[in-house]
């Protein structure tokens, strides 16, 4: 890699040459009088003598009133000095460019292998719909846990009727009994929450005037039989209907 990037003494020499060329380009870009460029080029390129009058013009005539012509001559000089550098060693400068091209090619090949075919712009547009389409299906197949009252009522019709005629009719079976999942096969027995804390979710009295919470029959949990399980005395399936 090091030699590729051109750190060998040979390459350093060629870099020096490139530097010289670059200085020349700068000079020409500064639009120096063409004749002057011509002379300085000859001395800088180490005795590589070119006849400035070889273009069939007197060196003095390079100092032309037209800027365009002067610029043209300057470019021509640079081209001459570039082509006069020894051999093709000056092409080392392009090696990093080849590496970049190879890397870009490699990334493009890897992309076609790694990125699935359904990844791209979907229905919701370029800005919000840039994704892997198959993921929608993965979310749709997510396992259900809560089955709902109707699922329970299929077998436990008696209890469903009981709670349906009580004040607790709005409460889902699974809120207290736990998620049904694939019951009765999995789990065979549900994890019923009998704790006092479950009842207190609604029945801790909170005197909030702008909330329905204050309309629920509530108590102060620190005063009403603290520590006792509510279900020891109260049957949640037979909560009294409002009179």
Partner 1 sequence: MDRRSFLKAALRGSAALILAEGIGDILRPASIHASPKPLRWVFLVDTYKCIGCGFCVKACKIENEVPFEANVSRTWVERYILTKDGAVFADTPQEARNGFTSRLIDLGEGRVKDIPQEKIDKAFFVPKLCNQCEKPPCVQVCPVGATYKTAEGVTLVDRKWCIGCGYCIMACPYGMRFFHPLLHVAEKCTFCYHRIQKELKPACVQACPAGARRIGNIKDPQDPVTQIIMTQRVSIHKPEYGTNPQVYFIGLSEEVR
Catalog residues that contact partner 1 under the rule CB under 8 A.
68, 71-72, 119, 121-132, 135-136, 138-146, 148, 170-172, 174-175, 178-179, 197, 200-202, 204-213, 216, 221
CB of 86 to partner 1, least distance (A): 27
State which residue, 1 or 126, has the beta carbon closest to partner 1.
126
State which residue, 122 or 162, has the beta carbon closest to partner 1.
122
Q: Which residues pair with 121 in a beta bridge?
A: 130
CB of 121 to partner 1, least distance (A): 6
State which residue, 98 or 128, has the beta carbon closest to partner 1.
128
- Reduce the secondary structure of 54-65 to three states and give it as a string: HHCCCHHHHCCC
Residues 40-71 as b or e (16 or more Cβ within 10 Å = b): ebbeebeeeeeebeeeeeebeebeeeeeeebe
Residues 188-218 as b or e (16 or more Cβ within 10 Å = b): eebeeeeebebbeeebbeeeeeeeeeeeeeb
- Distance from chain centroid for Cα 63: 59
CB of 21 to partner 1, least distance (A): 17
Place of tokens 């003598």: 49
CB of 154 to partner 1, least distance (A): 16
CB of 59 to partner 1, least distance (A): 23
Residue from 239, 238, 204 nearest 220 by CA:
204
State which residue, 41 or 174, has the beta carbon closest to partner 1.
174
State which residue, 94 or 128, has the beta carbon closest to partner 1.
128
């Amino acid at each position: 890699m090091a030699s590729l990037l051109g750190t060998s003494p040979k390459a350093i020499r060629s870099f020096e040459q490139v530097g010289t060329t670059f200085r020349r380009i700068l000079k020409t870009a500064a639009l120096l009088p063409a004749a002057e460029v011509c002379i300085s080029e000859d001395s800088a390129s180490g005795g590589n003598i070119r006849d400035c009058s070889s273009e069939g013009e007197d060196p003095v005539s390079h100092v032309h009133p037209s800027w365009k012509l002067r610029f043209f001559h300057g470019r021509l000089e640079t081209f001459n000095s570039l082509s006069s550098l020894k051999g093709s060693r000056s092409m080392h400068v392009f090696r990093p460019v080849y590496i970049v091209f190879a890397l870009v090619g490699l990334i493009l090949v890897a992309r076609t292998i790694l990125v699935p075919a359904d990844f791209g712009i979907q229905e919701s547009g370029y800005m919000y719909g840039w994704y892997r389409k198959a993921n929608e299906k993965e979310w749709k197949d997510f396992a259900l846990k809560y089955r709902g009252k109707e699922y329970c009522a299929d077998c436990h019709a008696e209890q469903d009727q009981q709670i349906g005629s009580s004040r607790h009719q709005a409460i889902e079976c699974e809120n207290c009994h736990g998620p049904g999942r694939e019951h009765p096969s999995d789990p065979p027995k549900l994890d019923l929450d009998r704790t006092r804390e479950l009842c207190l979710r609604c029945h801790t009295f909170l005197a909030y005037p702008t909330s329905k919470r204050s309309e629920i029959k509530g108590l102060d949990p620190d005063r009403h039989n603290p520590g006792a399980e509510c279900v020891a005395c109260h049957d949640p399936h037979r909560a009294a209907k409002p009179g």
